[in-house]
Chains A and B, each alone.
Chain A
């Protein structure tokens, strides 16, 4: 089955700096890669996703890159702000058959003002 590894487990950056979180997956059948943000005490929410037919996707200060050959994908946050502080989870899922989302172990991002 699918296994998703996520690094780092914790990340502290100064406000205004960039943050990068990396994930690797094992199942070559995975074609959909979402990222979820979980603020303290709240439910996870989707912030961006990417499908295997593209290598990069951007949404304002957030971008995700995908290298299907190497089976890894990354989340990039530029110009970080204190409200970006949260736990971020990557996930992988196939796009046919069973749509079982396997999540990484999470990255706790702290943006220092």
Chain B
């Protein structure tokens, strides 16, 4: 596609429910990142995928968070047993990988946990 696509754009859920957020990166980009942006806050690193290498999960805040990337393309971020503090915008980004370079961000998925 023309850019990084994320879905859903908005998600409202009840505390304790599980949610899945999807990211479709730019075709051919081997690196994929998930960041969390709380209201008025910075970009908090969550997880990074590079090709077929093991992902860097060092930013995941708890074991309720997990992510996978199937076939080196689409990624899903799963939050189990959601808490109110999980409310934020979840941003996905992709890059050509193999070296540093521009990150292309999606529009984000806004999660609200009631």
Contacts and interface: CB of A to CB of B under 8 A. Distances in A.
A46 B103 contact: yes
B65 interface: no
A99 B107 contact: no
B97 A106 contact: no
Interface string B61-86: 00000000000000000000000000
A104 B102 contact: no
B56 interface: yes
B100 A95 contact: yes
A43 B102 contact: no
Given A43-B91, A44-B105, A99-B31, A32 B100 contact: yes
A43 B42 contact: no
Interface of B: 31, 33, 35, 41-45, 48, 50, 56, 58, 91, 95, 97, 99-100, 102-103, 105-108
12 contacts: A1-B58, A32-B100, A36-B103, A43-B91, A43-B108, A44-B91, A45-B105, A46-B103, A98-B48, A100-B45, A105-B42, A106-B41
Interface of A: 1, 6, 31-32, 34, 36, 42-46, 49, 51, 89, 91, 93-95, 98-106
